[in-house]
Amino acid sequence: MKRTKKIARPLCLALLMTVSACNNTPKNIFLQEWDTPYGTAPFSQITLDQYVPAFKAGIEEQKKNVEAILSCTEEPTFENTVLAMEKASPILDKVQGVFFNLSESDSTPEMQAIEEEITPLLTDASNEILMNEALFARVKAVYENMDGLTREQQMATKKLYQSFERNGVGLDEAGKKRFGEISNRLAALTQQFGQKLLAENNAFKEATGITVSEYYDFMASCDDRAKREQVFKAYSSRGNNGNENDTNAIVLEVLKLRAEMARLLGYPNFAAFQLSNKMAGDPATVDNFLQPIMDACMRSAKAQMKEMQKIAGHKIEAWDWMYYAEKLRAQKYALDENLTKPYFQADSVLKGVFTAAEKIYGISIEEAPEVEVYNPEVRAYKLSEPDGSLIGIFYRDYYVRPTKRGGAWMNNFREQSTGVRPVIVNVCNFPAPNEDPTAAAPSLLTIDNVTTAFHEFGHALHGFLTQCNYASVSGTNVARDFVEMFSQFNENFAFVPEILSQYANNCYTGEPIPASLVEKIRKSLQFNQGFAAGETCAASILDMKWHELSVDQLATFKGPEDIRAFEDKVCKEMGLIDEIIPRYRTSYFNHIIASGYSAGYYSYLWSEVLAVDAWEKFKEDGIFNKETASAFRKTFLEKGGSEEPMVLYRQFRGADPDPSALMRARGLQ
């Protein structure tokens, strides 16, 4: 998941200005060239008091460059308009790349206060650009005369043109004013939501003794049923406790403002607006995609529940599911995760992640101790081509911290473009070595954690191996329901025997993982998919149903009781059984409230269809077939967003994706 918060990319190569002497002391590191290895951020020289002045300087730089574009007397061209906007402010690129990464991995009160100050500044600057009719006229002139442009230039132009359209440039003055008010309020609300959820996550740990990231593992292994119930209820009520960190009021206001924004732009609801530039195209397509998956998941879940019921000897409740699923898995496959964990020490797993990438794509990865990091737990690595040329710099930030947002994600400190090598981070919340329940052991990972590590590096490879000229369409700058294909595709390598043998050694004895244990893991991967895919599908449907509501429909919602009633209604209509809840309930559904996946959480399942169908080609040709791997790299990873997703997919596969591939991969047929 990519989470860089940016205002519209911008500006003119010939008109580009530097502001190193602008309005601030030259000691501000963001206003200077970085004389560091590979131009990476000099974290030790960055102080909190530098951020706001740097943001203001960047906004001023961008404003002056926009004015220069508007005063240009030449006919609008890709170079003097679209590319010029692409390069609006190197200062903003620098400071945003650092600040928004660190604000998520180290969300201290001081960082939160800075974010509160800069968010309205950035939103206003974005609105000023994207509602400027004269600037839009220049972009439109290029958009309507794209015949002489390369395909990549056409896609970059189209993306910029749509950004103007989707940000209210065509509205009258009253409409623009209201759109700007909504944008500012949404920016503030989503920031507040993230802060409240972080506080709720920390309160959850205080109340239960475990972190949010340890929840699933705990629920699968805790023998104390009363404790499981307590933890389940605490986990599933985050943001819905009527305290100072209750998120319900924020959620309702966000949903209502989004619906109003969509109506201003001529859409019946926010889902229709969001999907209008995605692969799926419209809400009906997504709804018709999700419900058959839900039906298959519930058939599987009900059958599995009967088996678990026999083991439990009592009615299965929601807080029992993971525990008895683990018991059933042990019974069916003789697989105990306590026996697998010693083979999946975090650093060893990272070695496996790197080994897979090196073997498939022919690259090399080595630690880069000369690169400064932002936290002692973080490690830096250098990726290179076979000829030694630099691909990019990678930060590994794996361990849980109290100030780190929950979940796992990939993000850019710097995006690839002509002459610019990317700097990318993977952030996870794996158990820290000194908190591991096995005491003397380093960080030991579950099978799900291992999959997460491969998943996030799949995003990183998408960002690293791109070969685009323009940052706006490079790497992961693709449609939301396309971007998750590459992360999910990379998951497949985690348990390939040839890869496992390179990294899965017992951290106590050094012995390689036994072939018999590997086979048990592989056989068990399709187990419990009614639950795993079902909770994801349920969250996806819930997301869609919230964002398919119109302004008038949302006006009837007044408080937490309306939110829960709507959730219950949607869950009943989709056929979700009582023993399973959506992976995220609304009050803590960060993806759709604050992380850019609104009316987009379905993307994980949509992209999974693409990923598993592409993986079937690898299996057909041989997983380590060099020609197939080269075709995947050249067709997908190098292209970024420089071509329409389905065009690329058909080039690689020779056909449209097969929706049934997901059912086969999950064992749900």
Question: What number of other Cβ atoms are within 10 A of residue 20's Cβ?
Answer: 13
pLDDT in tens, 385-406: 999 999 999 999 999 999 999 8
Q: What share of the chain is helix, strand, coil (3-state, %, to 5)?
A: 60, 5, 35
pLDDT at 3 over 50: no
Give yes or no for a contact between 247 and 239, defined as CB atoms under 8 angstroms apart.
Answer: yes
Number of helices (H) and strands (E), helices first, in the chain?
27, 5
| Run of H or E residues at 395 | strand 390-399
The reported pLDDT for the residue numbered 440 is 56
What percent of the chain lies above the pLDDT cut of 70?
A: 95
Give yes or no for a contact between 407 and 194, defined as CB atoms under 8 angstroms apart.
Answer: no
pLDDT at 176 over 70: yes
Residue of 152, 456, 491, 608 with catalytic role: 456
Cβ-in-10-Å burial (0-12, 13-18, 19+) of 376 comes to exposed
Whether the model clears a pTM of 0.85, i.e. scores above it, the answer is yes
What percent of the chain lies above the pLDDT cut of 90?
A: 92
Q: How confident is the model over 464-469, as a mean pLDDT?
A: 98
pLDDT at 13 over 80: no
pLDDT at 368 over 50: yes
Task: Give the 3-state secondary structure of residue 498.
Answer: helix
pLDDT in tens, 20-45: 334 444 589 999 999 999 999 999 99
Give yes or no for a contact between 120 and 187, defined as CB atoms under 8 angstroms apart.
Answer: yes
Lowest-confidence pick of 130-134, 363-367, 439-443, 585-589: 439-443
409 phi, psi to nearest 5 deg: -160, 160
Question: What number of other Cβ atoms are within 10 A of residue 530's Cβ?
Answer: 24
Give yes or no for a contact between 504 and 431, defined as CB atoms under 8 angstroms apart.
Answer: no
Q: If pLDDT is split at 50, 70 and 90, which confidence band does 225 have?
A: very high
Q: Which CATH architecture has domain 29-130+132-166?
A: Up-down Bundle (1.20)
pLDDT in tens, 612-648: 999 999 999 999 999 999 999 999 999 999 999 999 9
Q: If pLDDT is split at 50, 70 and 90, which confidence band does 107 have?
A: very high
Q: If pLDDT is split at 50, 70 and 90, which confidence band does 436 have?
A: low
pLDDT in tens, 302-334: 999 999 999 999 999 999 999 999 999 999 999
Q: How confident is the model over 551-568, as a mean pLDDT?
A: 97
Please count the CA atoms within 13 angstroms of the CA of 196 that sit on its side-chain side: 26
Return the closest-CA partner of residue 641 out of 477, 445, 462.
477
Q: If pLDDT is split at 50, 70 and 90, which confidence band does 91 have?
A: very high
The reported pLDDT for the residue numbered 11 is 34
Q: Is the dihedral of CA 275, 280, 283, 289 positive or negative?
A: negative
pLDDT in tens, 415-430: 999 999 999 999 999 9
Q: How confident is the model over 150-159, as a mean pLDDT?
A: 98
Q: If pLDDT is split at 50, 70 and 90, which confidence band does 669 have?
A: confident
Return the closest-CA partner of residue 132 out of 192, 65, 73, 190.
65
Answer whether CATH 3.40.50.1220 is correct for domain 340-457+485-524: no
110 is catalytic: no
d(CA 525, CA 523): 6
Sole residue written with tokens 């502001």: 19
The reported pLDDT for the residue numbered 9 is 35
Residue boundaries of the structural domains of the chain: 29-130+132-166, 340-457+485-524
Return the closest-CA partner of residue 467 out of 634, 631, 629, 630.
634
DSSP codes of every residue in 82-110: IHHHHTS-HHHHHHHHHHHHHHHHS--HH
Q: Which residues contact 132 (CB under 8 A, 6 or more apart)?
A: 66, 70, 169
The reported pLDDT for the residue numbered 435 is 55
The reported pLDDT for the residue numbered 340 is 94
Lowest-confidence pick of 133-147, 171-185, 651-665: 651-665
